[in-house]
Structure 1
Amino acid sequence: MAEQEESRIDTDRVAALCADLIRFDTTNRGEGDANGEREAAEYVAAELEKAGLVPTMLESAPRRANVVARMTGTDPSLPALLVQGHLDVVPANPAEWTFPPFSGEIRDGYVHGRGATDMKDFVAMALGVLHRWAEQGRAPRRDIVFAFVADEETTGTYGAHWLVDNHADLFAGCAASISESGAYTTHATAADGRPVRIYSIGTAERGTAHVLLTATGRAGHGSRRNDDNAVVRLARALVRIADHKWPVTLSPTVERCIVRTGAALGVPVDLSSDDAVDATVAAFGAASKLVENTIRNSTTPTMLDAGLKVNIIPGTARAQVDIRVLPGTEAQLLDELDRLLGPSINRTFVANQPAVQAPLDTEWFDAMAGALVAEDPEAVVVPYCLGGGTDAKAFSRLGMACYGFNPLWIPPEFDYRSAAHGIDERVPVAALAFGTNVLDRFLSTC
């Protein structure tokens, strides 16, 4: 009974930490427009101090605050590990929400609010582990650096990238890092009808390239024929891009994920052609979401800008394209993109962060998988490539192997993938309890 009461108190504490963090409105609107990161960072720093650590607060610009602290391990010969999370969140329109997005309501088994799954849940679990260690007089085997940063939801300019560029010494000796977007439950059904729980550890990310396209032509009156119309030229190029089906390219992570998922589900895996890969992935059912967006590169037109008045043909038209590129394929993608655009469209990078690929067969991955299986003996653990990007793109520049490891047990009825950045974002309290125990096991033994 005493052990159950201690576990309940621990769970309540982590849920309360998550709720407290949500109550800081850390909305990041981009273009340097953010608020609340300083107050959230001060709260985290105070919690780190309660756990016996000595945090360092670093502002990259006024109120754009980052907190870093190092915990000394018992074996100084081991390489250090970075545990990193971001404090900012995307905007939320209160009129669309059931609960106010920054209320941090704990109700019906969930913590509600913007950032609940992206990624104040992870920050709360990490702090919960540190409080548990402090109370029990425990320490990790290796040094662990904890970094809670600003600005991940845009470019990381005020957060992770700024820290890497200006304070790399804080991460000395870190060989690997863990952070968001991995190790949560995907519920699937095997070919024989068995329920299967898959946990996907992030070992790769597609690169992120935001490209500005500019078409030029002859300006003129909208009532007159004009065969040199910049808007038309750009529109045709965008249709070619949107209609193009990029070929299947299987990175090491994605291929391993497909093979392991197929084995777990009893689905035959055929990787002999693009059509065969598509059919294999489709046969995974709910588990297809693990790989359907990362078997190919993608080029998605997202922004358009042309003209001043409806009766004026502009001389210039612009568009932006969101490009996501798999490891090792950027040169081929850009060559094909230029062919699709044609010679009359100018292409420039607005942002360009390369893909990330961590080693698969490592003690880090094995320790993460072991911690998951210890808490869920029926867990099937697979590597996973993120379709988007995280601050791993910054910390990998320091030579770290970066993994997505934000462990959560997700009930079958909860659509976790739609929660992050979605309306009525929330995280199950039971998921926080599970994740705290998994993190504890991993960080204690790795």
Structure 2
Amino acid sequence: MKARLLGIASALVLGLVGAQAQAQAQDTLPPDKAKFRALYKEMVETDTSITTGSCTALAGKIEKHMLANGFQQSELTQFSVPEHPKEGGIVAVFQGSSKTLKPMLLLGHIDVVVAKREDWTRDPYTLFEEDGYFYGRGTSDMKALAAIWVDMLERFRAEGYKPKRTIKLALTCGEETSWAFNGARWLTENRRDLIDAEFVLNEGGGGRTDGKGTVVAQNFHVGEKTVGNYRIEATNPGGHSSIPIRDNAIYELSDALMKLREFEFPVMLNDTTRAYFSRLGAGRTDEMGKAMLAVVANPQDKAAVAVLDKDRMYHSMLRTTCVATQLDGGHANNALPQRAGALVNCRIFPGVGYEEVRKTLEQVIADPRMTVVKVDDRGPIAVPPPLTKQILEPAEKLVAKYYPGVPLVPMMSTGGTDGIFFGAIGIPSYGPPGLYGDPDGNGAHGLNERAIVKAVYTGRDMLTELVKAYASPKGR
């Protein structure tokens, strides 16, 4: 009992110290950044996971926030469907002056991957600022950018900025799940009038540090992989566990997954990944830089590929990848399993179809007793957007200003985003530079997710200038 009381007292003290640190961090900020931080905090601390949270609740808070900061009700549209009342979103329109320039769209998802308190060091739905990082679910993926978009439009309204191009904002739900309501998809299929634009600025871009705080590259997200989920399943008549046989569904599934673990899809390059490895490799003199240039010259250079494969991100950029993410099997503790299955999540290289990947999985498993089935509809095959001078040049100038000496590199995202739905209807989607993270991914989708404090504030400033450059292009 005494130990338990001491533990509670210790937790209370740590909580008080943490709260004091939070207050001190905010007190040192200029008023505009303090206001942004408060918005960011509110967004992180609103649970928007599919199991215990509500995107609709956060969309309502955002609407209230924007109404309090100069927006009219007619400029804001909340949306949802009756079947998914907690998975709604919001669209805002900041009217431009030009009658010829098409609008631009700022896109972001406000849902997050589920986080369990017992697994985390801190409460995942409380924003903590410690040792130069913001901690909390969604701090990195992607409530920092969503907060930047909202804060940016509110500051534009407050300062009386008049863009030439109408700026639209869509904050949606469903990006982190494959079976729930996807707001971005719904908007493209049902309310194109709300989101129609010349191009989209979305997640997926940003920079990367060397793991020690130095930014080594800023990335421009130009295209992405397609997400595909497949179920591998073994079936068996089963029987009594007291008389086991080698013919066992769980063992068969295990054998299949071991084959999948050892299999590598073939190396592939496209215009974006060639540009990425060419630009990044040209600025490096180490083994990795030489391998980048070598693989561009010859994608079948096994030695160069082996070097690049040491980096998990580069490994994924070079090919389609498939990995087991969920398991199930058996029906009783005293019976041989009649069924065992695994969910395999694939990130498919642009231009490769769903069925081609499914057939490859069948060939790798090479067991006619097992089935491989695509289990959901994650949307259309990703369409790589063109990287035009209009899009690239403003970003190059601002990267040079905010990150002197750091290269801006076109990059194909290894993750999937809601940009695929816009590409499918002819609206190219890009992930701009500005923010940055560590090589380990900053815990996105995992434990103790974090964002670099300096990156959030610097990214906010740079992205504000970038959106203005796109919204009021010179000579147009």
Q: Which amino acid aligns with 1:11?
A: K
Using the aligned pairs only, state the percent identity.
Answer: 27
Amino acid at match of 1:358: P
Answering whether residue 409 of structure 2 is matched by residue 386 of structure 1, we say: no
Distance, in Å, in 2 between the alignment partners of 1:196 and 1:109 is 15
**Residue pairs, 1:181-192, within 5 angstroms:** 181-187=204-210
Q: Deviation string for 1:256-295 (max 9, x for gaps)? A: 111111012133311222414424526xx8xx45522221
Judged with a 3 Å threshold, the aligned counterparts in structure 2 of structure 1 residues 225 and 196 are, in CA distance, closer, same or farther, namely closer
Q: Deviations over 1:190-246 (max 9, x none)?
A: xxxxx7620112112211111112223333333446465433333322222222122
- 2:261 counterpart (237, 242, 248): 242
Query: 2:362 is matched with which residue?
Result: 338
Aligned counterparts of 1:45 and 1:245: Cα–Cα separation in 2: 47
Pairs within 5 Å for 1:6-405:
8-29=30-51, 34-49=52-67, 50-52=69-71, 54-60=75-81, 61-106=84-129, 109-155=132-178, 157-172=181-196, 174-187=197-210, 197-224=216-243, 226=245, 228-266=247-285, 267-268=289-290, 269-271=293-295, 272=298, 273-279=300-306, 281=308, 288=311, 290-330=313-353, 331-342=355-366, 343-353=368-378, 354-405=381-432
Partner SS state of residue 152, structure 1? coil
Q: AA paired with 1:56?
A: T
Label 1:303 to 1:114 Cα distance change in 2 as closer, same or farther (>3 A). Answer: closer
Structure 1: distance between partners of 2:257 and 2:357: 15
| 1:76–1:277 distance in 2 versus 1, CA, 3 Å | farther
- Secondary structure of 1:25's counterpart equals coil
Give 1:375 deviation, angstroms.
2.0
1:56 Cα deviation from its structure 2 partner: 0.3
Q: Secondary structure at the match of 2:283?
A: helix
Between the aligned partners of 2:60 and 2:48, the Cα distance in structure 1 is 12
Shift of 1:349: 1.4
Separation in structure 2 between the aligned mates of residue 219 and residue 422 of structure 1, nearest angstrom? 36
TM, length-normalised to structure 2 = 0.81
- Matches of 2:127 and 2:442, distance apart in 1: 19
User: What's the RMSD between the two structures over aligned residues?
Assistant: 2.8
Q: How far apart in 2 are the matches of 1:55 and 1:351?
A: 32
Seen in structure 2, the aligned counterparts of structure 1 residues 367 and 300 have a Cα distance that, compared at 3 Å, is same
Write the letter of the residue equivalent to 1:365.
L
Alignment partner for residue 423 of structure 1, among 436, 441, 447? 447
Gaps of 5+ in 2: 1-26, 471-476
Mark the CA change 1:187 to 1:363 in structure 2 (over 3 Å): closer, same or farther: farther
CA distance in 1, matches of 2:358, 2:95: 45
Per the alignment, do residues 219 and 136 of structure 1 end up closer, same or farther by CA in structure 2, a change over 3 Å counting? same
TM-score (norm 1): 0.86
Ranges in structure 1 where 5+ consecutive residues have no aligned partner: 190-194
